[in-house]
Every structure is written in C-alpha cells, then in structure tokens.
Amino acid sequence: MQDTASPATTGPGATTPYPPTERTVPTRAKERASYDRELVHSILDETYLCHLGFVRDGAPVVLPTMFGRVGEHLYVHGSTGSRPLRNTRAAADPGLPVCLTVTHVDALVLARSAFHHSLNYRSVVVHGTAVAVTDPEERRIALDAIVEQAVPGRSRDSRPANTKELAATAVIRLDLDEVSAKVRTGGPDDEPEDITLPHWTGIVPLTRGYAQPVPADDLDPSITVPDYLHAL
C-alpha cells in the first residue's frame, strides 16, 4: 500500500522504530522481536488477512478479516450490525481495545527431535484502541485500501460502494503505535546428542501462489483478464 496519507511514513520519522512497550516485548525468544518500521510494513503489506481479537461479554473473541494499510493506520470493515463495530461508535466509549495479528509461514522446520520442530515465520502484533471512521473521505480511502490490499489495481476496476452499501458498512481504524514484529529464520536447533540420530532434518519451504483466474458464469466473453490479475 502507498504511504502518501501518513506523514509518519514519509517525513523525518519514517525510519524511526516503534517504541517497545510491556505488551510488545515477548517473554520468549526476545532476539526474534523487531520494532523496525519498514519490516513491520513489509509484513503487513504482503497479505490481506488478519486476525482481530477483542473481549465480548467477558470472553475473548478472535475474528479473521480483511484489512488495509494506509501509512500508519490499519482499516477493517464489517457490517454495522456487528457488535464490536457498534461498540466503536458508542458516544460514551472511546473505542474498542483490540489486538490485531498477521502471520506468514515461510517454512516447516523439521528437527531430529519432536520437541525442536518449528516454523520459519514473520509476524506482526498490533495493540491499540480501534475507533469508528465517520469522515466520508477517510471511509472512501479505507474501503479502497482494503480492496487494494488484496488485489492491487482492483479498486479502480470495480463500482464504488453506493449510499445504501455505505450505510450498511462500518469501518474502524487502528493506529500503528504499539507494534512489534517477530521473525524466525534458519534451520533446526537440534541438541548436540541428537546429531547422529538417523532422521531426516531440514526445512520445507512454503510458497504462496495464484491459479488461473476463473471467470464468472455470467461474464461477458469480450471482457478479458485484466493486467493487474496477471501481475499477481
């Protein structure tokens, strides 16, 4: 996603790391944690699916949902009837405390011992308070960003939401203030006494790919697959 909407990613503070906090410093494998702004952005921008966690009626809830990044803001949308999204609009409530996560699995790590099996991964965890977006222009930017996050170029090749659709859609914003990334790379960490065991060990790399687009049954045959889908 482009960062033109946020001075924090284009001005003097563009490369300033996110400040570690009590919630963003991991209790295990602290050496894998990073607060590098560019790393965080790259992990977020490589996907369009996040998991949004919050507390509802005293119990934790985690929802998979699409998101979009614009500068130092993350946007999530949903139905106006959704309880967590309604809570962000309550006059007496400053917003909804949430935790948003994104994870890429890059490889399976197969050790000689079951205990040391692992994953190579890149993840981002964002803590903060989600607030409702009510400004019409920011809502437009947010909804376009969510589409663009999944398929760059698609927002310009589809009908924008109409008045009825906008009225049924809630948009929330989570600022990138309390953020950390965590990355594991490399091979297995076997115990020295296990090195001679007769078991295969190493990594199994994983890749994400796209198959050939399948047109809708009612698509006009004269409309060809757009270039931005070929670019995927």
In this prediction, residue 87 carries a pLDDT of 61
List the alpha helices (DSSP H) in 25-92: 37-45, 83-87
The reply to whether 61 falls in a domain is yes
User: Is 220 within the bounds of a domain?
Assistant: no
* DSSP codes, 198-217: S---EEEE-----------T
Q: Provide the residue range defining the domain that includes 165.
A: 7-188+197-205
In the structure, what pLDDT confidence band is assigned to residue 206 with cuts at 50, 70 and 90? very high
Task: Report the domain count for the chain.
Answer: 1
- The pLDDT value recorded for residue 92 is 46
Average pLDDT of every residue of the chain: 89
C-alpha to C-alpha distances, 17 to 8, 76, 121, 178, 184, nearest whole angstrom? 11, 24, 21, 11, 19
145 burial class (0-12, 13-18, 19+ CB within 10 angstroms)? Answer: buried
> Is 232 within a domain?
no
Burial code of 26-41, b = ≥16 C-beta within 10 A, e = fewer? eeeeeebbbbebebbb
> What integer is the mean pLDDT of 56-84?
89
The CATH number given to whatever domain includes residue 146 is 2.30.110.10
Q: What is the pLDDT of residue 13?
A: 55
Residue at 67 is within a domain:
yes
State the residue for tokens 């197969």.
Answer: 110
Residue type, 156: R
Are 2 and 69 contacting, i.e. CB atoms less than 8 angstroms apart? Answer: no
Rounded Cα distance between 225 and 177, Å, is 39
In angstroms, rounded to a whole number, what is the distance separating the alpha carbons of residues 173 and 128? 10
